[in-house]
Structure 1
Amino acid sequence: MRKWVRNMREFWIIFKQAFATKARTKSFIITTAIVIAGIFLLANITTIIDKFGGEDSAGDTLPVITEDGAVVQRLADQLKAMGEETVPEVSDEPRNVLDDQVKEGDIDAYLVLASGGGTIDAEYVTEDSMDFGFPMMVQEALQSIQTEMRAESLNLSPAEAGALFEPVAFSQTTLSDSGKTEEELNQARGLVYVLMFLIYFAVIMYSSMIATEVATEKSSRVMEILISSVSPVKHMFAKVLGIGSLGLLQMALFGVFGYIALKTSSAMSELSEGAFSFFGFSDINVMTIVYAVVFFLLGYFLYAVLAALLGSLVSRTEDVQSLIMPMTMLIVIAFIIAVTGLGTPDAAYVKWTSYFPFFAPLVMFLRVGMLDLPLWEPILSIVIMILTIAVLGWFGARVYKGGVLMYGPSRSLKDLKKAVQLGKE
């Protein structure tokens, strides 16, 4: 009993040291602060643009050169119905004067409009070649007006004109047990992509952090002092759990502040009704979040143990990145497979790679988020990952035990055999 208490005390001392040391570093604090500030910036980007954009858009006007004032009025009514506050107004100024005003920044753009015989010819003049949103809205409004004008010339009633452009009633039905409707896929796709990116970001960042931390302790000879009082195996798992807990805390901070930013943002209601709702963030599936947490934890521990193993083979921090490159490539390949599988989550290559333990955190999560899978499939993938973590932990502990005592330049992964042999002695 005393031995178990002593072991736990030593474990928690290293755990707290790993957690507190990284939490107090300037890089961690600055990175966390920058990401949180970025979240609030993105959540309030429309408000910031409006404040620095000069005059309120409600007072903006669009000068129009035309001889048909009736079309301009219809354009104004159409834009208002589309929710646009910019008001088109007939201008008496010639084109060269309006060109100068655009170049000097007095106006953003102007419109040259000609109509006749049920046809509208329009030219939108602006200095900014990247201005796409408002011109497309104007084009759409003019298209609607032209359709109405041609219907009037054919003596069609509004109902008859509307019937001509009524969309085809088309729906897609899938007979697959794991299939979802296109609307359900679209709603799940955005949420799954964001959570996949978080898993990818966290796994690759914190695993690299562990490898660098182990290499730093070896290069400063601190490791020799640590392993003289604590077993290398205990040190490895305490380090993995300590930095992993720090990662969970950082992800939780991002989530909490992201939620606060969206709730306090003036654009929140618009996001909920528009793209925010379209991509599934207004109706989050609880099981998707559960699977995200499960695969995040399993993916982290899988790559963290591997990172600690590789970090123990390195005596200089400069060699860390080159030695963990194969591990980094695994998670990058998994992310590429998952991203390409967003459009076809039921593809054969996505299905089979979702059972490969180093790809499963992203690829199987993609499948459970996008498809209605039988329960045994994610369970099987989770079991395979747990077994891999156990085997890797057992082997990693043996390598770590000898690796932390190895100094000198690291040549390659061939040092694994030397580390195992040294750990037996």
Structure 2
Amino acid sequence: MHKFWVVMSQVYKKNARSGSWIFLVLSPLFFLAIAFGIVFYISKTQAPAQVAVVSDVSVVRQALSKQSTSDLRFKPYTSAKKANDALNKEDLDGILTVNAKDDFKSHYVARDNGQTVETSTLVAALSGLKLSSTAAAMKLTPAQVKALTAPPTVTSKTVAIEDGKQVAKSNTAQLMNHGLALVSMVLILMVTMVYGSILAQEIATEKGSRIMEILLSSVSATTQFFGKLAGIFALLLTQLVIYVIAGVIGWQFLKNQTMVAGLLKQVDLSILASGTTAMIALFFIIGTLTYSVLAALTGSLVSNQEQVQQAVMPITMLGMIGYFITIAAQANDSTLAQVTSYVPFLNVFVMPTQMSLGRASMGQAWVSVGISVVFLALFTFFTVAVYRNNVLVYSGSGLWQSMKTSFSIWKAERGVAKK
């Protein structure tokens, strides 16, 4: 066990200190910080649009000025000439002329290089004034006006069909779970490609330098295999922990922003503790482990660093296939999506999406998990055997030939063992 921890720590420390891994971890945080900084700067420095209100009724001018918001400010003007002079000096972004005596017919002049004001915003502001004016002319009471303008109430709910019955689903929960499934898919794709490449590079480097012959004299191939796998997995966990810490720190700033606070009121974050969310996280873990073992397998089949791209190719191809099937599954529940929900390597992409869309039950997800766990155990056992037999093979003839060589060695060992 001591040798296992030594191999794991060496793999972890070597990669954690490398400039490429540090750049890999910090670059997303750096670009996110720049993006949020730009958005924050624009939101703080951008002044509200200045719109002059010219009307033949002073009450209209004053009423509109009271409807000013953080994005739009109405400024009352007593004459069109003063408003046009201010527009010519670029002190205004537009002029709204309101003829209250002629059914509130209005005309808006916008400055070409000024801030854009949507016509719908102006219509909404004038609608309230027109309604009040019409109600006063018809001598309607406030209660009558409220009853007249109250919109009809429409309630809605989302249901999923499970075993021929309708089961209520939360709209917010479905959106959140769908978002988590997409995030999980992208993360698995990125993790498998990046860390699969690191693991394959780790094995290929040692084979190319012929140092494996020295290492195997003190540490068994099986111990090295699991030590390297654990070291790379610890590296991934370190990156995730760094992102969680950065997220917690950033959240202290973002939660006080007006836009974020508005979004939080529409989202129930308690659904993150749902069974679907836990299942998505479980598929992420299984997917990461399965593709890591695949990376170790393909990495052991190459002879030097120059062949690492060959080792990463199967990982990339499987990942992209799963990605495109998932994208297609969002449009319709095809037979391909249903079948691949149970196929190892692909189900970690497809099944979370099927669950989030209400097309797969929790029982079906557990069946897919069971298949994946059994496959992962058998695949790991197979990969360890290939790694042990092929770790000292330097044929340099490609993945397929290396696999045939490894299989021949395995058959020979089995024959000797039987005798």
Matched, 1:127 2:113: yes
Cα distance in 2 for residues equivalent to 1:276 and 1:203: 32
Contact 1:203 1:300 (C-alpha < 8 Å) held by counterparts:
yes
User: Is 1:9 aligned to residue 2 of structure 2?
Assistant: yes
The residue aligned with 1:4 is none
Deviation of residue 180 (structure 1)?
1.7
- Within 2, Cα distance between the matches of 1:372 and 1:268? 36
- The one-letter code of the counterpart of 1:9 is H
Residue of 380, 393, 398 corresponding to 2:380: 393
**What is the letter of the counterpart of residue 88 of structure 1?**
F
TM-score scaled by length of structure 1: 0.78
Distance in 1 separating the partners of 2:402 and 2:59: 82
Residue 295 of structure 2 corresponds to 307
Are the aligned partners of 1:44 and 1:266 in contact in 2 as well (CA < 8 Å)? no
Match of 1:264 in 2: 253
CA distance in 2, matches of 1:281, 1:90: 44
d(CA) in 2 for partners of 1:277, 1:212: 47
Greater mean deviation of Cα atoms: 171-180 or 8-17: 171-180
Contact 2:64 2:125 in 1 (8 A): no
> Which runs of structure 2 are paired with 1:178-217 in the superposition (5 Å)?
180-217=169-206
Secondary structure of 2:239's aligned partner: helix
Distance between the aligned counterparts of 1:422 and 1:325, measured in 2? 25
**Secondary structure class of the residue paired with 2:393:** coil
Residue by residue over 1:306-335, the C-alpha shift from the partner in whole angstroms, topping out at 9 and shown as x without a partner, is: 111111222343432344223212222323
Q: Does 1:149 align with 2:138?
A: no
How do 1:18-417 and structure 2 match up within 5 A? 18-38=11-31, 40=33, 46-50=39-43, 53=45, 57=47, 60=48, 62-64=50-52, 66-67=54-55, 71=60, 73-80=62-69, 84=70, 86-90=72-76, 98=87, 101=90, 110-116=93-99, 117-127=103-113, 135-136=117-118, 139-146=120-127, 148-149=129-130, 152-153=133-134, 155=137, 157=140, 159-160=144-145, 163=148, 166-167=151-152, 169-172=154-157, 174=159, 176-177=161-162, 180-265=169-254, 267=256, 270-271=259-260, 273-278=261-266, 280-281=268-269, 283-342=271-330, 349-369=336-356, 371=358, 374-407=361-394, 409-417=396-404
* Whole-Å separation in 2 of the counterparts to 1:282 and 1:263: 19
1:137-182 CA-partner distances (Å, limit 9, x unpaired): x633533423652674475656547745724525245361366243
Q: Deviations over 1:257-305 (max 9, x none)?
A: 202211233635752x422454554652253453343222211111011
One-letter amino acid of the counterpart of residue 126, structure 2: I
The 10-residue stretch of structure 1 (19-28 or 277-286) with the greater mean CA deviation from structure 2: 277-286
Is contact 2:158-2:170 (8 Å) kept? Answer: yes
* Residue 151 to residue 176, structure 1, CA distance change in 2 (3 Å): farther
Deviations 1:79-128 (A, max 9, x none): 43xxx254222575676974674xxxxx6x71232334333333443538
Equivalent residue, structure 2, for 1:104: none
TM-aligned CA distance change 1:200 to 1:100, over 3 Å: farther
RMSD of aligned Cα (Å): 3.6
What is the identity, as a one-letter code, of the residue corresponding to 2:192? V
Cα distance in 1 for residues equivalent to 2:318 and 2:282: 19
Structure 2 unaligned residues grouped into runs of 5+: 414-419
Change (3 A) 1:173 1:261: closer
Segment of structure 1 superposing worse, 380-389 or 402-411: 402-411
Whether the 8 Å contact between 2:322 and 2:346 is mirrored in structure 1 is yes
How much identity, in percent, do the aligned residues show? Answer: 26
Cα deviation code 1:339-379 (max 9, x no counterpart): 454576x6654443221111222322234455496443222
CA contact (8 A) 1:319 1:410 kept: no
Could you tell me which amino acid in structure 1 is paired with residue 375 of structure 2? T
| Structure 2 residue matching 1:62: 3-state secondary structure | strand
Mark the CA change 1:90 to 1:118 in structure 2 (over 3 Å): closer, same or farther. closer
Once the two structures are overlaid, the 10-residue window that deviates more, 371-380 or 227-236, is 371-380
- Secondary structure class of the residue paired with 2:301: coil
Which residue identity is paired with 2:117?
A: P
1:347 & 1:270 partners in 2: Cα distance?
Answer: 38
**Greater displacement, 394-403 / 141-150:** 141-150
> Does the 8 Å contact 2:303/2:395 carry over to 1?
yes
- Cα contact 2:295–2:311 (8 A) shared by 1: no
Residues 307 and 186 of structure 1, relative CA distance in 2, 3 Å threshold: same
Contact kept, 8 Å, 1:207 with 1:300, in 2: the verdict is no
Q: Structure 1, residues 58-86: CA drift from partner, whole Å, max 9, x if none?
A: xx560437455655544443343xxx254
Q: Deviations over 1:7-49 (max 9, x none)?
A: x222221111111111111122233233344555566665443
Distance 1:11 1:410 in 2: 31
Aligned residue for 2:207, secondary structure, equals helix
Paired residue secondary structure (2:15): helix
Q: Tell me the distance in 1 between the aligned counterparts of 2:402 and 2:88.
A: 70
- Residue 66 of structure 1 contacts residue 90 of structure 1 at CA under 8 Å; is this kept in 2? yes
Q: What is the SS of the residue equivalent to 2:303? A: coil
Q: Which of these two proteins has the greater Rg computed from alpha carbons?
A: 2
Secondary structure of 1:78's aligned partner: coil
Q: 1:89 to 1:268 in 2, by over 3 A?
A: closer
What runs of 5+ residues in structure 1 fail to find an aligned partner?
Answer: 1-7, 102-106
1-side partners of 2:287 and 2:331: how far apart? 23
Residues 113, 365 of structure 1: alpha-carbon distance in 2 compared, 3 angstrom cutoff: same
Cα 1:315–1:171 shift into 2, 3 Å: same
Gap change, CA 1:381 and 1:62, over 3 Å in 2: same
